[in-house]
Amino acid sequence: MSEREPGETHFGFRNVSRADKAGLVRGVFDSVARRYDVMNDLMSAGVHRLWKDAMVDWLAPRPGWRVLDVAGGTGDIAFRIADRAAGAAIVVADINENMLSVGRDRAIDRGRLAGLDWVVADAEKLPLPASSVDAYTIAFGIRNVTDIPAALREARRVLRPGGRFLCLEFAHVEQPVLRALYDAWSFKALPQIGRMVAGDADSYRYLAESIRKFPDQQAFAGMIGAAGLEQVKVRNLSGGIAALHSAYAI
């Protein structure tokens, strides 16, 4: 991996122009959208469902809240929040139209016709007014953003005073044996499963690489604080394979 030049960022282990990254990420999720949820089950042996439940448990959404779920195209987090908080108004924002299409179809199939809005939006430039939501959630999406600090500042901007920020993301495993097993799974098995199930090994190779390029738990907590969010807390899940980061707009 070479040093990045000015104007470059990473796309997995490759250096690319910052201007090109969003399009490359969009291509990944265009490719995997229809098999995304099946692949999540295969990748995590279903554990991603427990992580998402833990996220919404910690959020403890209240009836009538207005919630923004960013990078939430397929609806997994939004549906959980809706089940927990009667009358919540949930905006599902995703930069990828294909992912949102999957989520809308799932909502219709389940008879979820009220309380959900589906919006194509960039996490770095949200089409919402300042101080307009009670909670901002993002699950397995922040690492794909080109300018993470900008996305965190947008989260701070749209949250009302006292509003909650909650992020679920893959993290850094600290225990050496577990880390070795996880690396073997990520870089050897995952692309092959992607090839067989979704017909796309390269996209899942990118997803594994993007996890390794994401800041560790404490570094990301520092970024959240630098964006103006306060009371930052971290909870590791499954030995640090994933982590929850919580903060508030004060």
> pTM, whole model, 2 decimals?
0.88
112: CB partners within 8 A, 6+ apart: 79, 82
Beta strands 89-94 and 66-70: pairing type? parallel
Q: Which pLDDT tens digits describe the chain residue by residue (250 residues)?
A: 445 566 889 777 888 888 888 887 777 777 777 777 776 777 777 899 999 999 999 999 999 999 999 999 999 999 999 999 999 999 999 999 999 999 999 999 999 989 999 999 999 999 999 999 999 999 999 999 999 999 999 999 999 999 999 999 999 998 889 888 888 888 887 788 778 766 778 877 887 888 888 999 999 999 999 999 999 999 999 999 999 999 999 9
Domain range summary for the chain, segments of one domain joined by +: 33-174+204-248
Closest CA to 242 of 175, 143, 167, 171: 171
Type and span of the H or E element at 135: strand 133-139
Residue 4: predicted pLDDT? 54
Residue 53: predicted pLDDT? 97
CATH numeric code, 33-174+204-248: 3.40.50.150
Burial category of 132 from C-beta neighbours within 10 Å (exposed 0-12, middle 13-18, buried 19 and up)? middle
